[in-house]
Amino acid sequence: MATGEAGREIRLVSRPVGEPVPGNFELVEVPLGELGDGQVRVANRFMSVDPYMRGRMNDVKSYVPPFELGATLTGSAVGEVVASRSEQLRVGDVAVHGLGWRDYATGPAAAFTVVDGTAPLSHYLGILGMPGLTAYAGLVDVARLAPSETVFVSGAAGAVGSAAGQMARLLGAGRVVGSAGSETKVRYLTEELGFDAAFDYRSGKVTRLLADAAPDGVDVYFDNVGGEHLEAAISVMRDFGRVAACGAVSNYNATGPVPGPRNLGLVVGKRLTIRGFIVGDHAQLRPGFLDKVGGWIRDGSLVVPETFVDGLERAPDAFIGMLRGENTGKMVVRLGGTA
Amino acid sequence: MATGEAGREIRLVSRPVGEPVPGNFELVEVPLGELGDGQVRVANRFMSVDPYMRGRMNDVKSYVPPFELGATLTGSAVGEVVASRSEQLRVGDVAVHGLGWRDYATGPAAAFTVVDGTAPLSHYLGILGMPGLTAYAGLVDVARLAPSETVFVSGAAGAVGSAAGQMARLLGAGRVVGSAGSETKVRYLTEELGFDAAFDYRSGKVTRLLADAAPDGVDVYFDNVGGEHLEAAISVMRDFGRVAACGAVSNYNATGPVPGPRNLGLVVGKRLTIRGFIVGDHAQLRPGFLDKVGGWIRDGSLVVPETFVDGLERAPDAFIGMLRGENTGKMVVRLGGTA
């Protein structure tokens, strides 16, 4: 790679109002420039689009600051080191990092984490990365899932949901129920991912659909969706049930306040716990998580669905499509980056 | 007391729709009859009216079954044993029990708990009874209050709220904020009960009033009210804040579903926990609670506000008035019961 070469990046040029549109994004070419001392350059092979990014596109304070207008977007990515002026990484190393939305990531060595690269690289953005650990932490640390309990997962065909549902089963849940946005996904959940029951939330009242799928009630609700799903879960939950509140994708494109569940008063009588969490607070679980989940993948007990979109220029489409639920499993953008 | 004597009781004769009215209740005279073997009769001195009773007047399943139409109401009461055919209680003993809403309580000895009677009898229905233990359990077991945290208590002039706010201070909270429904109560909270700040929730937007009273945010919210108060608390809560969800008196008279907080999505980014509880699950705290709270009352560090209404015939008015917030501290009905 010659020093004069250019890379491509995607910038946020306007803040979405409601659903993002392609015009909110811009693809630009930038010169790669010389590496500084201690710097590393990675040719990205895969980059991630995740629901939480939608929140960062709004100009509001949250647990992560908003994306800046005109700046290149960031997010998880994985690739190969193509140049290094650090002793910590060598050309050919596989590294994960937070400089996605671009062909080449350049930064200080500390910004990159070398992985063994024995799994398919895209897995480091999904089942072995943030979404996988999110699912695991939500079940283990937040909901404290106990053997033989009934677990309900919304957005169950998504990256986190498909992991959470399968992990719940493998951790000993008695019954695992999922919701998704199409009949095809629903069949996938029960036929391929081992869910005991699943329903298409677009096919009726969620409370009715959930009550039919979990006739004895729900002990743990892994909430990726919020809104009507949360209200339904509260309605059917058993005494001492726990909600691991991971996200509320049903609200992410909302342009105004979203009414909360109308039955929140039930948390008192049923002694429910609703607990929000973000994966960064549960990093101490990572070693045990990698051990356990790595084993489940190797022995085939955990299926890893992924949906690929090709080309950096299509990353905005992948992001928009993911928010619409066009993916099954982790939505990943495959990049052309080569050394 | 002659066997032929009669007692009075209050029955629920129709289910309230919205706010209860006197016509939902009926005062009847009943013959007291002979005591059976092992039975005890207590002349009630005080009976309790509590917010949770409103829920039991609806015909819906909850953690306690609904009151039956035509049957005598029940609730906490305290009085003196006036007749006993059990060796476990003697005439003159002071006993607390669940057979309120009547002049005389008759039942098996196991239905009565003898107390030492050194405190004013009404305290056994409030600060030393269910409301006091509710406040303590909510802070200690549910919210896990830590020293120097900021605590917000809604319904802070009520039986549970006035206890929770004072106990929070005595347990080491850094700042205690309360809301109440009048300027008089607000002054009482800060001038008599030691709250650091208080506001009249009827005087403006609760979120604004709370933000002004707790400019650095809230760590623990003791929720007696629900509705707009809960939304306000979620809005100003600090990361890792906890809501001890004790009740939602703002909803108790509602005739339809009540919209939940519109900002519930914040529980994720702020990693909030909302946990419902009922005092019956925390009975193991009682010995330590009685020790600690008894000490605080004796040394004057805990003030015990009570509002008295005289006469069983006025118990429905006391109940209706309590739901309207006419009481300061525990609402208690003083009964004429004498041996």
Residue B268 belongs to domain with CATH number = 3.40.50.720
Instruction: List phi, psi (to 5°) of A282.
Output: -120, 25
Q: Is A259 in the same domain as A327?
A: no
Q: Is A275 in the same domain as A208?
A: yes
CA distance B100 to chain A (A): 22
Buried b (16+ CB within 10 A) or exposed e, B230-248: bbbbbbbbbeebbbbbbbb
In angstroms, the CA A83 to CA A89 distance is: 9
Q: Which amino acid is at B175?
A: R
State the pLDDT at residue B176: 98
**Which of A62, A251, A276 has its CB closest to that of B272?**
A276
CA distance B243 to chain A (A): 10
- A274–B contact, CB cutoff 8 A: yes
CA-nearest of B316, B335, B326 to B54 is B316
Angle in degrees, 0-180, between the axes of helices B159-170 and B286-298, rounded to the nearest 10: 80
Q: Indicate the pTM of the whole model.
A: 0.93
**Which of B269, B272, B276 has its CB closest to that of A62?**
B269
**Which of A247, A262, A270 has its CB closest to that of B268?**
A247
CA distance B54 to chain A (A): 13
Per the structure, the complete domain to which residue A226 belongs is given by 130-282+291-296
> What would the pLDDT profile of B41-77 be if each residue is shown by its tens digit?
999 999 999 999 999 999 887 777 899 999 999 999 9
- A55–B contact, CB cutoff 8 A: yes
Q: Higher model confidence: residue B249 or residue A276?
A: A276
User: Which DSSP state fits A106?
Assistant: E
State the pLDDT at residue B256: 79
> What would the pLDDT profile of A280-317 be if each residue is shown by its tens digit?
999 999 999 999 999 999 999 999 999 999 999 999 99
> Given an 8 Å threshold on Cβ–Cβ distance, is B230 in contact with A259?
no
The residue of chain B nearest to residue A249, with distances taken between CA atoms, is B265
Q: Higher model confidence: residue B336 or residue B271?
A: B271
**Ramachandran assignment for A237, one of left (phi > 0), alpha (psi -120 to 50 degrees), beta (any other):** beta
- A276–B contact, CB cutoff 8 A: yes
**Which of A55, A247, A269 has its CB closest to that of B278?**
A269
State the pLDDT at residue B338: 45
In angstroms, the CA B62 to CA B56 distance is: 8
Q: Is B112 in the same domain as B141?
A: no
CA dihedral B290, B292, B297, B300 (to 10 degrees): 180
CA distance B317 to chain A (A): 25
pLDDT-above-70 percentage for chain B: 98
Q: Is A154 in the same domain as A204?
A: yes
Q: Quick one: B284 exposed, middle or buried, by C-beta within 10 A (0-12, 13-18, 19+)?
A: exposed
Q: Is A88 in the same domain as A212?
A: no
CA distance B277 to chain A (A): 5
Q: Which amino acid is at B113?
A: T
Q: Is A225 in the same domain as A202?
A: yes
State the pLDDT at residue B339: 37
Q: Is A310 in the same domain as A200?
A: no
> Given an 8 Å threshold on Cβ–Cβ distance, is A273 in contact with B275?
yes
> Given an 8 Å threshold on Cβ–Cβ distance, is B269 in contact with A55?
yes
Contact residues, chain B, for A267 at CB < 8 Å: 245, 274-276
Q: Answer for the pair B318, B173: CB distance below 8 angstroms, yes or no.
A: no
Q: Which of B 216-245 lie inside 8 A of A, CB atoms?
A: 226, 230-231, 239, 245
> Given an 8 Å threshold on Cβ–Cβ distance, is A257 in contact with B258?
no
Q: Quick one: A161 exposed, middle or buried, by C-beta within 10 A (0-12, 13-18, 19+)?
A: buried
Q: Answer for the pair A280, B239: CB distance below 8 angstroms, yes or no.
A: no
Within chain B, what is the greatest distance between any pair of CA atoms? 67
Q: Is B189 in the same domain as B138?
A: yes
User: With 80 as the cut, is the pLDDT of residue B2 above it?
Assistant: no
Residue B83: CATH number of its domain: 3.90.180.10
- A268–B contact, CB cutoff 8 A: yes
> What would the pLDDT profile of B252-306 be if each residue is shown by its tens digit?
777 777 888 999 999 999 999 999 999 999 999 999 999 999 999 999 999 999 9
> Given an 8 Å threshold on Cβ–Cβ distance, is B268 in contact with A262?
no
Spell out where chain B has E strands: 6-12, 25-31, 39-48, 77-84, 94-97, 104-108, 112-115, 150-153, 175-180, 197-200, 218-223, 237-245, 273-276, 306-310, 330-334
> What would the pLDDT profile of B115-170 be if each residue is shown by its tens digit?
988 899 999 999 999 999 999 999 999 999 999 999 999 999 999 999 999 999 99
Token pair recorded at residue A322: 């993911």
Reported ipTM: the value is: 0.91
Q: Answer for the pair B99, B86: CB distance below 8 angstroms, yes or no.
A: no
Q: Which ranges of chain A have pLDDT less than 70?
A: 1-4, 337-339
Whole-number mean pLDDT of chain B? 94
State the pLDDT at residue A336: 80
> Given an 8 Å threshold on Cβ–Cβ distance, is A272 in contact with B275?
yes
CA-nearest of B68, B63, B37 to B52 is B63
How many distinct structural domains can be found in chain B? 2
Token pair recorded at residue A313: 């220029």
Q: Is A149 in the same domain as A77?
A: no
> What would the pLDDT profile of B3-56 be if each residue is shown by its tens digit?
568 999 999 999 999 999 999 999 999 999 999 999 999 999 999 999 999 999
Q: Answer for the pair B275, B242: CB distance below 8 angstroms, yes or no.
A: yes
Tell how strand A77-84 and strand A237-245 pair up: unpaired
Token pair recorded at residue A241: 């049930």
User: Is residue A178 in a domain?
Assistant: yes
State the pLDDT at residue B337: 47
Token pair recorded at residue A154: 């919304």
